[in-house]
Amino acid sequence: MTKLKREDLMSLEEYSEKRAEFRKEVLELKKDRAIALGEHATLYFENELTIRYQIQEMLRIEKIFDAEGINEELGAYNPLIPDGCNWKATFMIEYGDPEERAKVLATLGGVEDKVWVQVDGFEKVYAIANEDMERSTEEKTSAVHFMRFELTSDMAQAVKDNKNISMGIDYTGFNQSVNPIAEASRVSLMNDLA
């Protein structure tokens, strides 16, 4: 998969004009790319469109229009686009109450290393988490983690051959799984594979 370049982005003025329509398109796509792993944990799978939207939003909010600033945003977000042999996701532990969230996060150190995907007929693939920076200590974990799931070519072919995909968390006291994910989600993730 190709990475985004400056030419792929809209100017702030153009984005302002097209933002509502673009946002609607992205939100529709994201419906099939959010996999709830139980009530309080979700994997949000990224692709070129979701990352382009994120960059456009950052440029708009920060009012960045110079080449250096745009290149910094591209450098920060391009690594989150799948490479054709993997899936990349933002993993979020979601509790509305900040006190409850803090208590739970204090019990989940290392949970990010226990999140997995599995293509039917193959072993689980555990996340490679937080390659940009450490987000967990022995005392607690972060509510947000960035993950990469590396697939073999046989796994990718199996997905293209309509094999089911399951996902989950193997963490004592926080075990979750979805077996299989919805067909619309499987198809959306299949499109990330070369």
Domain-wise residue ranges, the chain? 1-31+48-81, 83-194
pLDDT at 17: 96
pLDDT interval class at 1 (50, 70, 90): low
Is 118 in contact with 167 (CB distance < 8 Å)?
yes
Q: 41-55, 76-90, 123-137: lowest mean pLDDT where?
A: 123-137
Residue 161 is predicted with a pLDDT of 96
Question: In this structure, are residues 123 and 183 in contact, taking their beta carbons and an 8 Å threshold?
Answer: no
Q: How many helices (H) and strands (E) does the chain have?
A: 6, 9
Contacts 24+ apart (CB under 8 A), 124-130: 124/170, 125/149, 125/150, 125/151, 125/155, 127/89, 127/91, 129/91
Give the pLDDT of residue 130: 80
pLDDT bracket for residue 2 (50, 70, 90): confident
* pLDDT at residue 53, as a whole number: 97
Percent with pLDDT over 70 in the chain: 95
Q: What is the mean pLDDT of residues 42-66?
A: 95
Q: What is the pLDDT of residue 140?
A: 77
**pLDDT beyond 70 at 132:** no
Give the residue-averaged pLDDT of 59-83.
93
Q: Mean pLDDT, the chain, as a whole number?
A: 92
Q: Which tokens sit at 118?
A: 């599995």
131-140: b (≥16 Cβ within 10 Å) or e:
eeeebbeeeb
d(CA 34, CA 118): 16
Confidence grade of residue 92 (pLDDT, cut at 50, 70, 90): very high
Q: What is the pTM of this model?
A: 0.89
